[in-house]
Amino acid sequence: MRKPIIAGNWKMNNTASEGAELVKALKPLVKDAKCEVVVCVPAIDIPAVKKAIHGSKIRLGAQNVHFAEKGAYTGEISANMLKEYGVQYVIIGHSERRAYFGETDETVNKRTLAALAAGLTPIVCIGESLEEREGGLTEKVLDNQIALDFQGIEDFSKIVIAYEPIWAIGTGRTATDEQANETIGYIRKRMKKVYAGKNVGRMRIQYGGSMNAKNCKGLMSQPEIDGGLIGGASLKPADFAAIVNFDK
């Protein structure tokens, strides 16, 4: 059985004090969670949030990581730096990183390998644009990302994939339950073919396109969907808790 994982991506929201208050409000709401609960916070919030989640089921995640251990990379943060602060998960290759900051499949792969080497669990984002989906290119786009983003990984039980249809991020649009399940099923099937014998069957795949308190039950009822990478709803404790507690 693949244990569901619900991860909140705060993006560039919440100061350290605001983030600490948010997780303090969240803790009692998710104390009986049966899934893994993660908050991926701005780097500057990590120390305060680490302290605030102490004693709870909430795990700490970051939103990016550099592929080098150290060096002349002004503004970047290494995997070992994150690990020393208690970070366990890190988002890699989010569509906003790809669109606004020049992230490529090559750098996604390098960051993923660096995270794994440091003992972090990468949440690797893949997905297609609206133009690509409407052009019938979804599978071609995913095939290319699958081929390039995951080279060199030997144990896929140690990573999480977040399928994020780019057209459903921050737009209010969401793939239907069936669309999301079908595409994630395709990703899993393709991964098993390309990376056979590397624990792909134990790899978890989240849905990352505007999952919220209202649509989470339907999405999470689908057999291929192992959780959600949550954006806006993760900034509201009650809404995020409703997603975490989707089975109630």
Please list, in sequence order, all residues whose beta carbon lies within 8 angstroms of the beta carbon of residue 127, skipping any fewer than 6 positions away.
95, 141, 142, 163, 164, 165, 166, 208, 209
From 96, 128, 132, 164, active-site residue: 164
Using H for helix, E for strand and C for coil, what is the string for 35-102? CEEEEECCHHHHHHHHHHHCCCCEEEEECCCCCCCCCCCCCCCCHHHHHHCCCCEEEECCHHHHHHCC
From 94, 96, 128, 132, active-site residue: 94
- Rounded to whole angstroms, how far apart are CA atoms 72 and 154? 29
Is the distance from CB of 228 to CB of 208 less than 8 angstroms? Answer: yes
Residue in the block written with tokens 């339950």: 177
DSSP state of 107: H
Instruction: Return the structure tokens found at 31.
Output: 């104390």
Q: Is 94 a known active-site residue?
A: yes
**Segment holding 199, helix H or strand E:** none
Q: Is 66 a known active-site residue?
A: no
Rg (CA), the chain: 17
Say what angle helices 105-117 and 138-149 make with each other, to 10 degrees. Answer: 40
- Rounded to whole angstroms, how far apart are CA atoms 101 and 75? 13
Residues annotated as catalytic (active site), given as ranges: 94, 164
